[in-house]
Amino acid sequence: LTNARALSSSDLDFVIIDMEHSPFDVERLREFLLGMTNKRRILEKQSLQPDVVPFVRIPKIGRENFLSQVKQVLDVGAFGVMFPSVDNVEEARLAVTAMRYPQLSGSPDLTPLGLRGRNPSNAAWYWGVANYQRIADTWPLDRDGELLSIIQIETPEGVANSSEIVLVPGVGAIFIGPSDLSAAMGFESPNAPEVETAIQTVLAACLASGVPCAITTGPNDVVARLEQGFRIVTVGVDYGISASTSEALLLGRGAMN
């Protein structure tokens, strides 16, 4: 709870709550999201939109309870879902499908059609809105959507299919995981030249399609990554705001101004 409060009061734009490498505990997630609710900031800016937007990374696509996991993290109020190790178009399309409600009557005919179970009351309460069901859709597929589908590419197969994955309607961002990618390629370090070549392949696909590309960074490379064309960068881990996180954040903001 203390960490949630510190993060919500920080200068970060977003946080990614990791439920892939930690227990999939929805009640703990609910408590964390409530801890991030900063009523003072809401009052000051007269807006319910959080300053620090929470996204959640879930386990890899393919488990039997995958659709249920997506539904549960969205139902407690997450603003987006990160899907690790997406290797092909079919998995990317399933990710988008899991996040979308079945279309309401009169809605634009947008595909892929949604499979998310309909129980918007909890998320609507957390967001503080009455029209949650209409805005809880994936951007940019739905221009009025407020949810983000973040597709992680972390394997050679995903790299090879990246130019097709970025074209799946509803994919909001591509996130490259250098550590897992290097391991999948057989390299101990993500700094191997072959890994960097793969990273640039994915980035090129994103730049060509206009899909934002994200990557992990630190003080030593955040500026270079932004100059390369990455539009989203992470600058720390979930242990709080460290000195290196603050330094990387400061450098990154300076490079964007």
Residue 221 DSSP label: T
Q: Is residue 21 annotated as part of the catalytic site, yes or no?
A: yes
How far is C-alpha 197 from the geometric centre of its chain's CA atoms?
23
Q: State whether residue 215 is helix, strand or coil.
A: strand
Q: Report whether 238 contacts 3 (CB < 8 A).
A: yes
- In which residue are the tokens 């709870």 written? 1
Classify residue 239 by burial, with Cβ atoms within 10 Å: 0-12, 13-18, 19+. Answer: exposed
Separation of alpha carbons 113 and 225, rounded Å: 35
Token output for 95: 């990710």
> Which residue among 21, 39, 40, 143 is the active-site one?
21
Residues near 3 by beta carbon (within 8 Å), at least 6 away in sequence: 35, 238, 239, 240
Residues involved in catalysis: 21
